[in-house]
A and B are shown apart, each in its own frame.
Chain A
């Protein structure tokens, strides 16, 4: 309010001093004789577009039916889609060109192609997921699938006998060991890449990049040749876990590296300015700030590791009964069990294979959903609950310190 009064008084002064008071002169608005031009629309779909798309789709599908049914020696679902799409693009281009100049025709056709490629990609994903669930539906709905193993069930037995309990247990044990090996090493290495500079750092970064190119079967072959052939140790879940770890490590390091790089530098500087040594800055500032991103990178690495078949095939091998001991005897994982089931000609085993693949996929989907929820937040973001927790902790500190401040100790 005071400021307002001051300005008004000063303008009063100016008015009283000057002979001709300064005024802002606005240009006169002349009503235009021509209506204003429409803003060119770059995004969005107009009604005309919708009509064109519908017409082109109807005509292309009709033509494809004609071709496949009557005129040409064509068959197969994939072929139908390909031919229908090509015809659609042609008809759509023709329809658009009736009312539009050439650049707009190109734009519309290319937009349609971009949308179609996106649609194709997601249709493939949906088809993979739906097909696996559909073929596995009979086995998936039996309880014994989750509780029993295959030691009692022969290849020709119906789905009501036997299950993949051994593979579920095996997967959990193998991936658990792999997590215990890779997460500390991977995150520490990512911190190393971010907190230090120098030639050795660059070497490690290059080597991690190279390591991510290592085909997973070679990780398995390496463990097979060293662990089993040279050291003479038995094929076991532990060997499989080490092979999977070699494969997961570069994935976790690279994505954790990217996440830690996003931690704002001023947080590090603030911590250093408060007198924190480097190790405390890392432990209390860098890692908590990037916690959600680190969780995402770990989960993405786990999702890749859990689906790996080849390293487990080479280092652990097939087993048909439940095995809780990772140090001895083969231990089968879900992808390996899938692979084993579908190589058999028995329809019941193939159905089991699909059910196993579906269980594996659901497991990966759950991991992935967790990763999305955690990783949706940027580095340093504090959720409401975390904020409350931090506030209450700060209040506790205050209460603890208040008497000491009042008595003059602090």
Chain B
């Protein structure tokens, strides 16, 4: 510190002290405050204990099943625990594919909505739009599932058919059993597909991503935006050169948070998809699977070993969502816009 050179001179005539008995300032906590702190810490310990209990318990219970199969658990596609042949090869792949379809659909929409709310919409509508996005996040997933099953599915089959007819040469878009030129093509080969489940999950993750992104966009320094506008940039120009680079960490973080949510979604997927246990990359074709819908379908099986197998699958899913979430928070925290933009 350079300041140390300056000395304060005290006039000699200053009286010693007007108050012969200065108030003692005691910063130590009294007994009740220490109790209070202990009480607060105990809530932290309780939360920690619950979490560790869930994680440990899943791990211990899954151990039986994992010891039986070893590394083959990751690659086996069947799920017949009682015959000793089971693995998450197909279900985990199905989960990841549904989540990726959801992210591919949700990210452009949430990014566009976040940019529209922060940069384009008149200020007086902004509050309403933000409330609507939050409301979208609060709609229960079973309602989205109903909508997907009874409404969206019949509307989107035409699109599925079009894509599979014209882009069927791309492996993931091909559909076995769909004849391109038949007069009455069989619509049922397009129902209950990974694609439809993914779009419905996209509706659920979109508001989460949107609110993280909006938060970050609203922190873009006004001076930099105005600088871009003053140099002649159009509104989109200012977004492109200022907002998007500034918010990059938040955009990636928000996307990952949505991905974490999409991986764990159960009931909407369970309603829509028809389960299958093979490696299937054809997203438009009937049938897919996810870890959480597998658990919801099979938990009632009596044997404790098959439950242990389900625990192992759940553990794998949890590990995946944990990794995704931690990467997301790392991105959000490290970005220039980070820190205060937690979801």
Q: Do these two chains interact? A: yes
Interface of A with B (CB < 8 Å)? 42-43, 73-79, 82, 103-104, 106-107, 110-111, 113-118, 120-122, 124-125, 127-129, 131-132, 135, 185, 188-189, 191-193, 195-196, 200-201, 203-204, 207-219, 221-222, 224-226, 229, 246, 249, 253-254, 258, 277-279, 282, 300, 303-304, 306-310, 313-314, 335, 338-339, 342-343, 350, 353-354, 357, 360-361, 364-365, 367-368, 372
Set of chain A residues within 8 Å of B162, measured between Cβ atoms? 73-74, 76, 79
User: How far apart are the CA atoms of A316 and B121 in the complex, in Å?
Assistant: 46
Say whether B9 faces chain A, with CB atoms less than 8 Å apart.
no
User: How far apart are the CA atoms of A307 and B36 in the complex, in Å?
Assistant: 35
Chain B 19-50, CB-CB to A under 8 Å as 1, else 0, gives: 00000000001101100110111011011101
Set of chain B residues within 8 Å of A212, measured between Cβ atoms? 325
Contact present for B271 and A116 (CB under 8 Å): no
Pick the contact of B58 from A210, A222, A277 — CB < 8 Å? Answer: A222
Contact present for A217 and B129 (CB under 8 Å): no
For the complex of A and B, the 5 pairs showing the least CB-CB separation, nearest first, are: A76-B158, A307-B140, A215-B264, A117-B112, A107-B234
Say whether B144 faces chain A, with CB atoms less than 8 Å apart.
yes
User: How far apart are the CA atoms of A357 and B58 in the complex, in Å?
Assistant: 32
Pairs A–B under 8 Å by Cβ, sample size 7 = A42-B235, A43-B122, A118-B121, A196-B37, A196-B41, A213-B322, A307-B139
Least Cβ–Cβ distance between B114 and chain A, in angstroms: 9
- With A120-B109, A304-B138 given, is the CB distance from A42 to B29 under 8 Å? no
Say whether B167 faces chain A, with CB atoms less than 8 Å apart.
no
Contact present for A128 and B307 (CB under 8 Å): no
Pick the contact of A215 from B133, B143, B236, B263 — CB < 8 Å? Answer: B263
Set of chain A residues within 8 Å of B132, measured between Cβ atoms? 122, 125
User: How far apart are the CA atoms of A377 and B199 in the complex, in Å?
Assistant: 35
8 A Cβ contacts from B204-223 to A: 206, 210
Contact present for B139 and A217 (CB under 8 Å): no
User: Whose C-beta in chain A lies nearest to the C-beta of B29?
Assistant: A278
Say whether B104 faces chain A, with CB atoms less than 8 Å apart.
no
Set of chain B residues within 8 Å of A116, measured between Cβ atoms? 112
Say whether B311 faces chain A, with CB atoms less than 8 Å apart.
yes
- With A118-B129, A215-B317 given, is the CB distance from A277 to B32 under 8 Å? yes
Set of chain A residues within 8 Å of B152, measured between Cβ atoms? 78
Please report whether the interface of chain B is mostly helix, strand, loop or mixed according to DSSP: helix
Pick the contact of A213 from B33, B266, B321 — CB < 8 Å? Answer: B321
Interface of B with A (CB < 8 Å)? 29-30, 32-33, 36-37, 39-41, 43-44, 46-48, 50-54, 57-58, 61, 108-113, 115-117, 119-122, 129, 131-136, 138-147, 149-152, 155-159, 161-162, 165, 203, 206, 210, 229, 234-237, 239, 260, 263-267, 271, 292, 295-296, 299, 304, 307, 310-311, 314, 317-318, 321-322, 324-326, 329, 342-343
Contact present for A253 and B33 (CB under 8 Å): no
User: How far apart are the CA atoms of A33 and B40 in the complex, in Å?
Assistant: 74
Q: In the complex, given contacts A111-B120, A214-B264, A361-B143, what are 5 additional A-B residue pairs having Cβ atoms less than 8 angstroms apart?
A: A76-B156, A132-B143, A278-B37, A279-B32, A339-B271
User: How far apart are the CA atoms of A217 and B210 in the complex, in Å?
Assistant: 24
User: How far apart are the CA atoms of A297 and B43 in the complex, in Å?
Assistant: 18
Contact present for A117 and B108 (CB under 8 Å): yes
- With A114-B115, A213-B321, A217-B292 given, is the CB distance from A365 to B135 under 8 Å? yes
